Structure 1
Amino acid sequence: MKQLRLVIEAEDFDAALIFYRDVLGLTERAAFEGEGDARVAILDAGAATLELSNPAQGKMIDAVESDGLPSARIRVAFEVEDSAEKTDELVQAGAQLIASPRETPWRSLNSRLHAPADLEITLFQELEPAETRHSHPGFKKP
């Protein structure tokens, strides 16, 4: 596998581009325009992972991250340096706050927002190095 690319169709392309590129800080790798006002921007979001969870895990994450408010079936999570600061920036840029930043049992600071292009997103800030988290209950060594 060389790359995971998540493709999102945005009704308001310009607003979504400003939000994700300029406010969230994703770097534009390429952009293309075509006939009929066709436009695409490919934004670099760093390393990609695919997180699979069963329904019980989803409910547990919802309980921790958003006081039990169910998340969308597909939610995009972004690791950031400062979850609280970036959450404030994204709300000021038009995202709707679902849940403010809170520390999770897996030692990250998570917030949840409804963002442009009708995406539900989680911002997370790791509070502990991955090498030491496996010592906590429930974690497995990779």
Structure 2
Amino acid sequence: MSQACIPGYQYHATSKGKNYHKGVGAEQANYNGTSRTARSTFTSETEGEVGIGVSGELKVTGKAAVIEIEGKFGVELSVKLRTRIGNSIRVDTPSRKTTFARYGVYRLKSKGYSQYVYVNCTKGVKHNTTLYTPRRVGWAIWER
């Protein structure tokens, strides 16, 4: 007699990508038109919440997917993270350059699939998914 399985969808993480920044509020910029390096200060004026981004079909809860990804890749993630107003950062802006800043949430890109497991342990169709899962709150800074 074969062993029975608990029927339902399961999520399987298959690959871990890099972190992508999801901004909350407006992008800020400061141009330094002088011949010297200048100090730029950026302050978050908006608060918000960033959750899981899904591309494809996710047939399990976000929490179930987060647990699977954390276990598979040894990372700490959240279902959603909240940014706050008043967070500031000071950076050097080189001569004749523009420093850009945006406050928000870094999300880990990962790929995987949801698949139904039947009581007799056979498996259904794979539903491929790309997830962007909140990892940490912070600033994205770049220059041009």
State the TM-score, normalizing by the size of structure 1: 0.23
> Which fold has the larger relative contact order, with Cα–Cα distance below 8 Å and residues 6 or more apart in sequence?
2
State the TM-score, normalizing by the size of structure 2: 0.23
Greater strand percent: which structure?
2
Compare CA radii of gyration and give the structure with the larger one.
2
